[in-house]
Amino acid sequence: EVKLVLVEEELLSQQLSKWAQQNGYKLLWNSSTDFVIYKAINLSGKTTQDVLVKLGKVFTSENYGLVIKDYQANHVLIIDEQ
């Protein structure tokens, strides 16, 4: 099982960067905006892709205006503005 815990009062970009590294990915943050997590978020799934799909839904529900691009072949995650 893959888990992603976003801790409150911390920057989204820094937490995702750490998580990406722990899961063998490199994160590229291509958004000019960053967000402080106001309430802890716990996501889990069978694979990193499951977790990323759930994270995408969080981005949508929170109106972050961000999209995730997952390049599995070279293990790169890109966070882009919508």
Q: Which domain CATH number covers 26?
A: 3.55.50.70
Strands 66-71 and 76-81 come out as: antiparallel
For residue 64, the model assigns a pLDDT of: 94
Q: What are 38-58's pLDDT values in tens digits? A: 999 999 999 999 999 999 999
CB burial of residue 68 (10 Å; 0-12, 13-18, 19+): middle
Question: Residue written as tokens 């929170």?
Answer: 62
Domain interval for residue 8 = 2-81
> 32-45: b or e for each residue (b if 16 or more CB lie within 10 Å)?
eeebebeeebebeb
For residue 67, the model assigns a pLDDT of: 96
For residue 4, the model assigns a pLDDT of: 98
One-letter amino acid of 7: V
Query: What total number of domains does the chain contain?
Result: 1
Mean pLDDT of 9-31: 97
pTM of the entire predicted model? 0.92
